Amino acid sequence: MPAGAFAERGADLELVGIQKRFPGFTAIDELDLTIPAGSFFALLGPSGCGKTTTLRLVAGLEEPTRGRILIGGVDVTDTKAHERPVNTVFQSYALFPHMSIIENVSFGLKRRRIADAAGRAHEALRLVELDHLAQRRPQQLSGGQQQRVALARAIVNRPALLLLDEPLGALDLKLRRQMQLELKTIQEEVGLTFLHVTHDQEEAMTMADTVAVMNKGAIEQMGPPAELYESPRTVFVANFLGQSNLFSGDVVDSTGTAITVDAAGARLVVPTARARRHQGSVTIGVRPEKVALHREAPVESAERNVLGPGHVIDVSFSGVSTQYLVTVPGVGTLTVFAQNIGSGPVAAEGAEVWVSWDVAHGFGLDDDADSAPRFAADDDTESIAVHRREALVAELEEH
């Protein structure tokens, strides 16, 4: 059977006014979400943002406090997990340790009394290239193999909706890439609706055609990955999805095409179309790779925002690019990613530099950097490192 025959059309998923409260806290508040059939949708957010709860609500492993869940237009809010046309690839894989691989994969088919369960299970295993291990036990497989079995166990049932709960979290980088590709291929071949939950922005961006960034139980922004990256709507999105240099200030000038923001004396221009707010105090930003580093003051131009002079306080070389931290007095610290096109760094630590970027690359946010502190889950090493660095930078500035 060609892989295409697996494709039983995926179904729309609709969440209407979902609220989920646990004693003591609200995990999800007023969530409305529609995922069209056949799409690969990623819910991206830090741990504790409610994304896993959302997934469990869809799977039927949790009940919403309020709201309705519809799959393919059918209200499934009051049906139990085993009655929903949904399958999950669990984060821990949850392969039954007392059953062989083939027994695991045919488990769902047998429950639904589907004819030729074994044959279909073997086909699914062939799809993930593990049919030769059908008689093994899950414990005898590597992490990557287990992950593929978990995938086969889910898709063999041809669910209307496939839920992926950080399925790549436990894999090493190389396997991860491989699995990402494989998942994407299978999704394209099978044509199911995929709902993928992850905290890994790269994973979300490479795989999904629509990404929803979730924070504190609500969706902050939703759209194609490139759109989210190029024009983030909120401070949270700007910082969680990649890195951003953010500046706050009052709008001092506004034409039909651009607004000018006074950031501690520096005048920064953002196209009106790329700014969410056009008056009062606003926060604007630019991605570090869009920023250029200059050893001498660049020529003033209407097309470029220029900041400087400032000092390089840190240089870290990472192969394809070099990351510079530049302090501009009054404005703050910027991160600059420079492609290693030449040989050796452009500027050494302590060097006096200017930075500039194309006006068209800036974006204006909907909220303020101060009102929503930089995302920080305190168990996350990355954010700890960020805080450390910020503290160090602040200390350096004082001297």
Partner 1 sequence: MAFAAFATAEAQTQAPKRKSRIALFLLLPGIAYLVLFFLAPLISLLLTSLQAPREFGDIGQFDYAFNWQNYTAVVESYLPHILRSFGYALAATLLALVISYPLAYFIGVKARRWPMLQGLMLVLVIAPFFISFLLRTLAWKQLLSDESFVITSLKALSLMAPDAHFTGTPFAVIFGLTYNFIPFMTLPLYTTLERLDTRYLEAGSDLYASPFTVFRKVTIPLSMPGIVAGTLLTFIPAAGDYINASRDFLGGTETQMMGNVIEANFLVLLNYPAAAALSIILMAVILVLVGVYVKRSGTEELL
Partner 2 sequence: MSGEVQAAAVLGDLAGSEARDPGSRPPRRRRIGLGDWLLPAYTIIAFVFLLIPIVYTFVFSFNDSLKSNISWRGFTFDKWLNVCNVEGGAVCQAFGNSIVIGIAATVIATTLGTMIALALVRYRFRARSAISLLLFLPMATPEVVLGAGLAAQFLAVGVPKDMTTIILAHTMFCISFVVVTVKARISSLDPALEEAGRDLYGSPAQVFWRVTFPLLTPGILAAALLSFALSFDDFIITNFNSGSVSTFPKYVYISASRGIPAEANVIASAVFLFALALVVVAQVSRTARAKRLAQLG
Q: Across the beta sheet with 258-263, what order do the strands follow? A: 266-271, 258-263, 245-254, 281-286, 363-364
- Supply φ then ψ for residue 287, to 5 degrees: -75, 145
Residue 146 tokens, joined: 């287990």
Q: For residues 52 and 157, which CB has a smaller minimum distance to partner 2 in the complex?
A: 52
Using CB under 8 A as the binding rule, whether residue 98 contacts partner 1 is answered as yes
Does residue number 47 form part of the binding site for partner 2 (CB under 8 A)?
yes
Choice from 63, 188, 352, 390 touching partner 2 (CB under 8 A): 63
Q: Which residue, 169 or 309, is less far from partner 2 as judged by CB? A: 169
Q: How many C-beta neighbours within 10 Å does residue 343 have?
A: 5
Instruction: Map 232-293 to HEC letters.
Output: CCCHHHHHHCCCCEEEEEEEEEECCCEEEEEECCEEEEEEHHHECCCCCEEEEEECHHHCEE
Residue 203 binds partner 2, judged by CB under 8 A: no
Between 92 and 281, CB nearer to partner 2: 92
Q: Out of partner 2, partner 1, none, which partner does residue 317 contact, by CB within 5 to 8 A per kind?
A: none
Q: Give the residue with the Cβ less far from partner 1, 81 or 394.
A: 81
Among partner 1, partner 2, none, what does residue 157 contact (CB within 5–8 Å per kind)?
A: partner 1
Cα distances from 2 to residues 19, 158, 183, 200, in angstroms, run 41, 14, 17, 32
Measured in degrees and rounded to the nearest 5, phi and psi for residue 59 equal -70, -20
Using CB under 8 A as the binding rule, whether residue 309 contacts partner 2 is answered as: no
According to CB under 8 A, which residues from 127 to 186 bind partner 1? 153, 157
Is residue 52 a contact point for partner 2 (CB under 8 A)? yes
Please report, for residues 105, 157, 160, 236, 380, the alpha-carbon distance to residue 82 in angstroms, rounded to integers and kept in the order given: 16, 12, 14, 36, 35
Cα(334)–Cα(357) distance, rounded to whole angstroms?
12
Q: CB of 209: closest distance to partner 2 in angstroms? A: 24
Q: Residue 65: name its binding partner from partner 1, partner 2, none (Cβ under 5 to 8 Å by kind).
A: partner 2
Around 87, how many Cα atoms within 13 Å sit in the side-chain half-sphere? 20
- Cβ 140 to partner 2 shortest distance, Å: 23
If binding is defined by CB under 8 A, does position 201 make contact with partner 1? no
Tokens 């590709």 locate to: 181
Which of 2, 4, 23, 280 forms a contact with partner 2 (CB under 8 A)?
Answer: 23
Residue with Cβ nearer partner 2 (92 or 272): 92
Using CB under 8 A as the binding rule, the residues of this chain from 161 to 200 that contact partner 2 are 165-166, 169, 199
Residue 399 within binding range of partner 1, rule CB under 8 A: no
CA 285, chain centre distance (Å): 19
Given the complex with partner 2, which of 78 and 303 has the nearer CB atom? 78
Least distance CB 56 / partner 2 (angstroms): 6
Q: How many CB atoms lie within 10 A of CB 278?
A: 12
Angle between helices 117-127 and 143-155 (to 10 degrees): 130
Binding residues for partner 2, rule: CB under 8 A, are 19-23, 27, 47-48, 52-53, 56, 61-63, 65-66, 78-80, 91-92, 165-166, 169, 199
